[in-house]
Chain A
Amino acid sequence: MKPAGLLRGAWLVLKKDWQLEWRTRARLTATVFFSLSTLLLFSFAMGPNINVLREHAPGYLWLGILFASVLSLGESFRVESENQSLTGLLLAPVDARSIFLGKVLGNASLLFGLALVLLPVTVALYDVDLSRNPAALLLALALGCLGISAPGTVYSAMSSNARARDVMLPLLLFPVLVPMLLAAVSATKFALSKDVQEQLPSWLKLLTAFDLIYLSVGFLVFPRVVEDD
């Protein structure tokens, strides 16, 4: 399939998902409030020492996003499987790979939006300084959210039908995300505080590599996952 057709198909899927999300807004709201509570719980669990909280804020932020992703990823395919609309999508002249790309971008944009909403919360709870390197911070957030979505979309397509689906998605997803979490937290940390050894570009490169690898593997594997569905 021509690249133009692939991207166009992805854009259609993305637009459809955005419209659906906006009409219900239920998933968005639930996810936002869930993450807010998570960040609050972290601040209570880790105690009142603001220096400790500030130092570990990137970790809390990314864990909050990660836990929320399990909710939102799980939902993204439940919608499809409940109405058999995935079959409909596949029967339409839209390549499965376009669907994959569209879904990944949809999930990633949702998580990115969530991350943006959480940023002022981290300022309030953990006293971080957002102004040090905002461009790098946004880039780290974007790459990380993409890194969660790429394998997450493949796994959620599979676990939406499995028994014990609620626990299957995190069970499959979390081990794979270990290096991404490490890189995203490190990149965020160096965007928020001093970067003595100039590590930030390298962590961003690692995140990019992770994203590219999982997008490619997902591209190859996703069509096989959704065929015969």
Chain B
Amino acid sequence: MKRTLVNVVALGLALAARLGVAQDAAPPQQHPVGIEKAMPSGVVSGGWGYVYAAYAVALGGLVLYAVSLWTRRPSAQPPQGDLP
């Protein structure tokens, strides 16, 4: 609980610093919709499902591509010769 509070305060300070440096404020209704969801909660909790999904994509990509290279490999007897 205390850690969450500290994180929220730190996040708030960081964002305040950024806003201070940014240009003169435009009317606030210009920001995109998703940003509200991302800002105030401070710490993302859990989310291991996403982590596993991402690692599966990473590993799966490597494996599948390696397999596709293997199936497309030039056969042992290439009949044609060299090129300039």
Interface residues of A (CB under 8 A from B): 196-197
A196 to B26, CA, bound (A): 8
Measured between C-beta atoms, what is the minimum distance from B30 to chain A in Å?
A: 10
Measured between C-beta atoms, what is the minimum distance from A52 to chain B in Å?
A: 14
Interface residues of B (CB under 8 A from A): 23, 26-27
A72 to B26, CA, bound (A): 40
A224 to B27, CA, bound (A): 50
The interface residues of chain A lying within 8 Å CB-to-CB of B27 are 196
A197 to B26, CA, bound (A): 8
A196 to B29, CA, bound (A): 14
Closest to A197 in B: B26
Closest to A199 in B: B26
The interface residues of chain B lying within 8 Å CB-to-CB of A197 are 23, 26
Measured between C-beta atoms, what is the minimum distance from A138 to chain B in Å?
A: 27
Closest to B24 in A: A197
A52 to B78, CA, bound (A): 63
Measured between C-beta atoms, what is the minimum distance from B55 to chain A in Å?
A: 29
A14 to B65, CA, bound (A): 48
The interface residues of chain B lying within 8 Å CB-to-CB of A196 are 26-27
CB-defined A-B contacts under 8 Å, sample of 4: A196-B26, A196-B27, A197-B23, A197-B26
A196 to B25, CA, bound (A): 11
The interface residues of chain A lying within 8 Å CB-to-CB of B23 are 197
Closest 4 CB pairs of A and B: A197-B26, A196-B26, A196-B27, A197-B23
Closest to B23 in A: A197
A130 to B27, CA, bound (A): 24
A215 to B27, CA, bound (A): 37
Measured between C-beta atoms, what is the minimum distance from B24 to chain A in Å?
A: 8
Measured between C-beta atoms, what is the minimum distance from B41 to chain A in Å?
A: 30
A196 to B27, CA, bound (A): 9
A139 to B58, CA, bound (A): 47
A196 to B28, CA, bound (A): 13
The interface residues of chain A lying within 8 Å CB-to-CB of B26 are 196-197
Measured between C-beta atoms, what is the minimum distance from B36 to chain A in Å?
A: 20
Measured between C-beta atoms, what is the minimum distance from B25 to chain A in Å?
A: 10
Measured between C-beta atoms, what is the minimum distance from A58 to chain B in Å?
A: 16
A197 to B23, CA, bound (A): 10
Measured between C-beta atoms, what is the minimum distance from B70 to chain A in Å?
A: 29
Measured between C-beta atoms, what is the minimum distance from A192 to chain B in Å?
A: 17
A108 to B23, CA, bound (A): 36
Measured between C-beta atoms, what is the minimum distance from A197 to chain B in Å?
A: 6
A193 to B23, CA, bound (A): 21
Measured between C-beta atoms, what is the minimum distance from A35 to chain B in Å?
A: 29
A196 to B23, CA, bound (A): 13
